[in-house]
Amino acid sequence: MDEEKDAGQLDVKDCFESLAQEARELYLPNTIQYIDGVPNPLNFYREYVCPNRPVIIRNAISHWPALHKWTIPYLRDIYGEKEVTVAVTPNGYADAVYKDHFVMPEERTMSFASFLDIMQHSNDLEKSAQHPGVFYIQKQNSNLTEEFAELIPDVEADIPWATETFGNPPDAVNFWMGQEKAITSMHKDHYENLYCVISGRKHFILLPPTDLPFIPYGTYPAAKYKEVSPGHFEMIDDPEVGQLPWIPIDPQEPDLNKWPSYSKAKPLHVTVNAGEMLYLPSLWFHHVRQDQATIAVNFWYDMEYDIKYNYFKFLENIAAVDKKS
């Protein structure tokens, strides 16, 4: 923004750019920061939660048995007969905008052993052809405690220092397991998120809440994938869900001709390796992918609906008004 402009010359887009720039100058990092070991709850709250700043924490879950126990043979042995919910898509994008629809995955119930077989043979062209599509355990209903409770002793039902930090136990604890093609499209959550990678690695693209004016939003009719014949998926409209707001842009290959404002966003690229934990603050936009089969557990702690949320909603409303003008 031109620093010579006075208040009378500024328009709302100048103010958006100034907000994002000042946030980076004052408190947002250019690269991800790291903590080694379990943080002090008060210090963590002061240094990361209050300023809404992400960080990777190393050696905070090194005591979890899951880090060395959760192999496919072990999971099959203790859990193989259990029925689990699996999201299936033709392209790896569950809950994403595709062909001007917000498309949700087909949900299938199968034995965990069957899912593990698909995971184990995902790179075997002949065997993977028997199960077309991308399979991903990603049901975000606290599925670790609801569907995979037998695995809790290998991790924790909560993170004690985080529960002290946030003043409450987590609202949900989710188990994630999927193939390398599984992708989570850009979105935000109203949670303080502690994302722990057990095996493999996750690649995050992060954008702070102050970049909201540069991120395109649309409203799309809901649909679901359905495999109507082997390997052939169709989108089936879901009128009961109706219209949903979502972010259509792919931050890996953003179409700046269609969404030129996105060029002003400054994404932070972060890789979370096995044994590491990402603190992803509430309201940060994020896109997640993996380049190999990966297992993770995340803890959603409810955010504080305080003045930060109040300001975020104000920014959201002003940005919406500006886009209509």
Measured at the CA of 211, the angle between CA 207 and CA 215, to 5 degrees, comes to 85
Q: Are 204 and 276 in contact (CB under 8 A)?
A: no
Q: Which of 246, 297, 261 minimizes the C-alpha distance to 70?
A: 297
As a whole number of angstroms, the distance between CA 26 and CA 1 comes to 17
As a whole number of angstroms, the distance between CA 16 and CA 315 comes to 9
Per-residue pLDDT tens digits for 277-314:
999 999 999 999 998 999 999 999 999 999 999 999 99
Question: What is the reported pTM?
Answer: 0.94
Q: Are 86 and 148 in contact (CB under 8 A)?
A: no
As a whole number of angstroms, the distance between CA 266 and CA 198 comes to 29
Q: Are 145 and 173 in contact (CB under 8 A)?
A: yes
Per-residue pLDDT tens digits for 160-219:
999 999 999 999 999 999 989 999 999 999 999 999 999 999 999 999 999 999 999 999
